[in-house]
Amino acid sequence: MTHLTIPKTYKLYIGGKFPRTESGRSYEVTTPKGKFLANAALASRKDGRDAVVAARAAQPGWAGATAYNRGQVLYRIAEVLEGRREQFVAEIAASEGVSKSAATAQVDAAIDSWVWFAGWADKYVQVAGTGNPVAGPYFNLSVPEPTGVVAVVAPQGTGGSLLGLVNVVAPAIVSGNTVVVIASEKHPLSAISLAEVFATSDLPGGVVNVLTGSPAEIAPWLASHADVNALDLSGADALDWVDLEIAAADTLKRVLHPEPGVPARSLDRIVALTETKTVWHTKSLI
C-alpha cells in the first residue's frame, strides 16, 4: 500500500495557536540552489497587531510565575527540542544549504542555549540587583523587573536561523517578558517548527508569538506600536534601523541595536530587557 506524502503547512504562531495570515498571502521558501521547500505565511500588519495583543494578555501571568517555574519551562523546551533534534537538523540543512554536521552543531547549540538561560531564571536578579548604601535607617534595594512586551527581529543570515532566534527569544522571556518575533525571512521553517515545540511544552500561549515574512514590512509597525515596550533589532542590520529606532522613541521604547551574526549567550541580554525598581524600607529600631 502506497503511503501518501503530506506536505507540511507552515503557519504563524500567535497566542498559542497556528493561524493562517489574515491577508491570505504566502511566499516560497527555497534552498540556496532554488529548489522549492515549502510555502510560508507572509504576515501582515494585522497579524503583528494580533501578536501584540496576545503577548500583552500573556505578560502579567508569565511575569507573575516564580523564577523557578520559568526556568523549568525553559528547560522543558530544551527537552522537547532534543526529542525532535533530527527534524530540525534536516530542516536547517535543506534550508540553509549547510552540511548535516553544521546543522547538527546549530541544533545542539540551540538546545544548550535553552538550558543555559533556564539556569539564570532564579539567579540573574541576585547578580543584577543590589543593596544601595544610604544615609539613614533604611534598606534601599534595586531589583530588575521585566519591561513587558518585546518585539524582536531575529537574525536573518545563514548559519543561525534556529540558534539566532533562540538567543534573542530565550533571554527576553526568562525574566518575564513576552515576545513577538519576526523570524528569518529566507530560513523561517525551523522557527515555526520551534513554535510547535513551544505549543507542546509548558510555555503558556502568547508568551512567544512567531511571525514569518518580511521584516521590512512588519518591523515598522511593531516599532511604532504603543503597546510594545522594547525593540530588539538584533537581525535588522540590513534594514533602515535608524528609522525604526526613531519610531520606537515616540513611545519611549528601549531599543537594542542590530547585532550582525548570531548573538552570544549573555547575562547582559537578559538585563537589557528589564527595568530597575528601587525600593526603600525602614529598618527596625527595635
Nearest one of 242, 249, 275 to 175, comparing CA atoms: 275
**143: part of which helix (H) or strand (E)?**
strand 138-146
pTM check: above 0.95: no
176 pLDDT band, cuts 50/70/90, is: very high
The grid coordinates of residue 44 equal 501582515
pLDDT in tens, 243-272: 999 999 999 999 999 988 888 899 999 999
Return d(Cα 205, Cα 187) in angstroms, integer: 24
Confidence check: pLDDT of 285 > 60: no
31-59 as b/e: b if 16+ CB within 10 A = eeeeeebbebbbbbeebbbbbbbbbbebb
pLDDT in tens, 227-241: 999 999 999 999 999
Between 52 and 8, the higher pLDDT residue: 52
Give the per-residue pLDDT at 16. Answer: 97
Return d(Cα 41, Cα 52) in angstroms, integer: 18
pLDDT in tens, 110-157: 999 999 999 999 999 988 887 777 777 777 778 889 999 999 999 998
* DSSP bridge partners of 189: none
